[in-house]
Amino acid sequence: MSDTPELIQCDVLIIGCGVAGATAALRLAAADPNLRIVVLTKAEDPLESNTYYAQGGIIYEGEDDSPAQLAEDLVRAGDGMNNRRAVEILAQEGPRLVRELLIERYQVPFTLDAEAIPERTREAAHSTSRILHVNDATGRGIQEKLVAALRACPTIELLTGMYAVDLLTPAHHSLDRLAIYEPLSCVGAYALDSANGVVHTILARVTILASGGLGQIFLHTTNPEGATGDGLAMAYRAGARILNAEYVQFHPTTFYHRGQARFLISEALRGEGARLLNADGEPFMHNYAPEWKELAPRDVVARSIHREMLRTGASYVYLDIASVMPADKIRERFPTICQSCAEYGADPAKEPIPVVPAAHYFCGGVWVDEWGRTDLQRLYAIGEVSCTGVHGANRLGSASLLEGLVWGYRAAGHILDNLDAWRLVPADTIPGWQSTPSSHAADPALVEHDMATIKHSMWYYVGLVRSRRRLERALRDLNNLRQDIDAFYHAVRLDPAIIELRNAAQAAIVVARAAWENRESHGCHYRED
């Protein structure tokens, strides 16, 4: 990109290139080679995304399976709070798209069984074995194939190291003052090139948010560093409707090591028979979920671990697969997990490993209809940043990759059918980015401290177990902090760190406020009062 601000005009702007964004881009490009498609990712490497780090698998179909059976599992895991139309769409269309796109077209190297067909496993809260996997690195296997296809497509412009700053809406940005009377719409975005600090103006006939989740607003998370709620914050500032923001799923099992970042221990281990043990080496899930035990929905398992830790005074519990599966089979089935554990002197093939819950998946997000449309004209949202309602109050394991695939495909199809109705807004009606007059860079100590404050407030006050007093404290602290961050943002030179800090603060407030407003416990939103 140029060292001077540019005006980029395109047909479709896609912010994010995980499974949802990549699927949408590839379907658009395949259907119409004349479309100019621009895909932004703030990572330098487009493989870097929540998709890449998804270990467990993706829902397909079991031998004795049906759409109705999958729908029942989705609704049970979601505590009945699901959008039934979205559930029907996922159950009906998902397996077909896995077969047609991932297996046949992009040839994702799913692990095969003895008969050389994709091996199907079972995970928690699933009533049958229907999960496809690439050992324990399924997301990586999918993302590598999709990114390769993106790079090979001549009509897709993949821009890395590009941080979306804000969505462009005529009501907020147009030089025409009368635009405030028009229905809210999105006509593109401002984007910062992290390589040179230049902010470009990107105008698009339609924009797709596919920016992922917000796990990094919590102290402990399985999410990569870039998951700071950017898309949610930008959509909120633009005026989009946000739904189910209180439903943040905490994964029950992440590797525990004092002072170290958490990494995911896939629930596929529990699907293969691994047991949870307390500090005394005793199984405990039968005390909390006697019917499902370790295969209970994620929210149940996570809270059970939390309660057992409080009961025993321990900082973690243990996950034991070594006693139920041969060591060579464990290393073959879970090579990535074994390698990651080995870096900290642990070996799942020989002994139980220490685990704790951590923020994992955002079940809420920007409200969308069954085609991925938000309530802003020209703006779609797909993947984790969106809320189709398919997950309800708690996501069924391995449903995230499938949701991204299905709604990436559906959104692209709807755009193809309606693109002729949209035109680029005149370039002279949207001003270029107005830089702050300050030449001062953000003080990294202040950025780090403010981000740490957000993470601690969210973990202790808006975490696994919530209460009115905790949530009121969170909202008071976060609103005061957001005011300071906004002043900070406008006083310093724009850079990636200050963009993420601003977005994280806004996303945290959205989640905390939703949790405070909803006094009913459902799924992963648990109020002790």
CA dist 25 and 39 (Å) reads 8
pLDDT, tens only, 189-246: 999 999 999 999 999 999 999 999 999 999 889 999 999 999 999 999 999 999 999 9
Exposure string for 147-180, b = 16+ CB within 10 A, e = fewer: bebbeebeebebbbbbbbbbbbbbeebbeeeebe
* Percent of the chain with pLDDT strictly greater than 90: 90
Task: Find out whether 406 and 86 touch, Cβ atoms under 8 Å.
Answer: no
Which residues contact residue 339 at a Cβ distance below 8 angstroms, ignoring those fewer than 6 apart? none
Sign of CA dihedral 325, 331, 334, 339: positive
- Predicted confidence at residue 172, as pLDDT, reads 93
pLDDT, tens only, 307-360: 899 899 998 999 999 999 999 999 999 999 999 999 999 999 999 999 999 999
Overall average pLDDT of the 289-304 stretch: 90
CA angle 496, 42, 224 (to 5 degrees): 90
Residue with more model confidence, 297 or 188: 188
Beta-bridged to residue 328, according to DSSP, are: none
Amino acid at position 282, single letter:
E
pLDDT, tens only, 300-310: 899 999 889 98
Task: Find out whether 17 and 158 touch, Cβ atoms under 8 Å.
Answer: yes
- Predicted confidence at residue 72, as pLDDT, reads 98
- Predicted confidence at residue 437, as pLDDT, reads 65
Cβ–Cβ contacts within 10 Å for residue 33, how many?
9
CA angle 44, 398, 211 (to 5 degrees): 30
Lowest mean per-residue pLDDT among 73-82, 224-233, 260-269, 365-374: 260-269
Task: Find out whether 19 and 143 touch, Cβ atoms under 8 Å.
Answer: yes
Task: Find out whether 370 and 380 touch, Cβ atoms under 8 Å.
Answer: no
Residue 255 sits at φ, ψ, to 5 deg, of -65, 130
- What HEC string does 399-422 produce? CHHHHHHHHHHHHHHHHHHHHHHC
**Secondary structure (3-state) at 389:** coil
- Predicted confidence at residue 335, as pLDDT, reads 93
Tokens 């395949």 sit on residue? 30
CA dist 321 and 269 (Å) reads 7
Residue with more model confidence, 260 or 426: 426
| pTM of structure | 0.93
- Work out the burial of residue 55: count CB atoms within 10 Å of its CB; fewer than 13 is exposed, 13-18 middle, 19 or more buried: buried
pLDDT at 158 over 70: yes
Show the domains of the chain with their CATH numbers.
7-52+137-246+363-429 (3.50.50.60), 251-359 (3.90.700.10), 444-517 (1.20.58.100)
- Predicted confidence at residue 468, as pLDDT, reads 97
Using alpha carbons, select from 154, 387, 354 the residue that is nearest to residue 265. Answer: 354
Residue with more model confidence, 435 or 65: 65
**Secondary structure (3-state) at 326:** coil
CA dist 492 and 440 (Å) reads 5
- Predicted confidence at residue 325, as pLDDT, reads 96
Lowest mean per-residue pLDDT among 15-19, 255-259, 478-482: 255-259
First-last CA distance in the chain: 53
Using alpha carbons, select from 389, 382, 386 the residue that is nearest to residue 406. Answer: 382
Which residues contact residue 290 at a Cβ distance below 8 angstroms, ignoring those fewer than 6 apart? none
- Predicted confidence at residue 35, as pLDDT, reads 98
Using alpha carbons, select from 411, 388, 410, 412 the residue that is nearest to residue 400. Answer: 388
pLDDT, tens only, 120-156: 999 888 999 999 999 989 999 999 999 999 999 999 9
Please report the DSSP string for 48-101 in residue order. -STTTT--S-EE---TT--HHHHHHHHHHHTTT-S-HHHHHHHHHHHHHHIIII
Task: Find out whether 293 and 285 touch, Cβ atoms under 8 Å.
Answer: yes
Q: How many CA atoms lie within 13 A of 345 on its CB side?
A: 2
pLDDT, tens only, 417-452: 999 999 999 999 999 998 766 668 889 999 999 999
* Distances, alpha carbon 144 to alpha carbons 15, 48, 138, 408, in Å: 18, 10, 10, 17
Which residues contact residue 236 at a Cβ distance below 8 angstroms, ignoring those fewer than 6 apart? 242, 506, 507, 510
Tokens 């949209």 sit on residue? 422
Mean residue pLDDT of the chain comes to 95
Task: Find out whether 432 and 7 touch, Cβ atoms under 8 Å.
Answer: yes
Which residues contact residue 172 at a Cβ distance below 8 angstroms, ignoring those fewer than 6 apart? 238
Overall average pLDDT of the 164-192 stretch: 96
Q: At what angle do helices 444-461 and 496-517 cross, to 10 degrees?
A: 20
pLDDT at 454 over 90: yes
Per-residue confidence at 260, pLDDT binned at 50, 70, 90? low
**Secondary structure (3-state) at 338:** helix
* Distances, alpha carbon 105 to alpha carbons 100, 140, 333, 352, 513, in Å: 6, 17, 25, 40, 43
Tokens 């002197």 sit on residue? 345
Amino acid at position 12, single letter:
V
DSSP class of residue 105 equals I
CA dist 163 and 234 (Å) reads 12
Length of the chain as a residue count: 529
Residues marked active site are found at 298
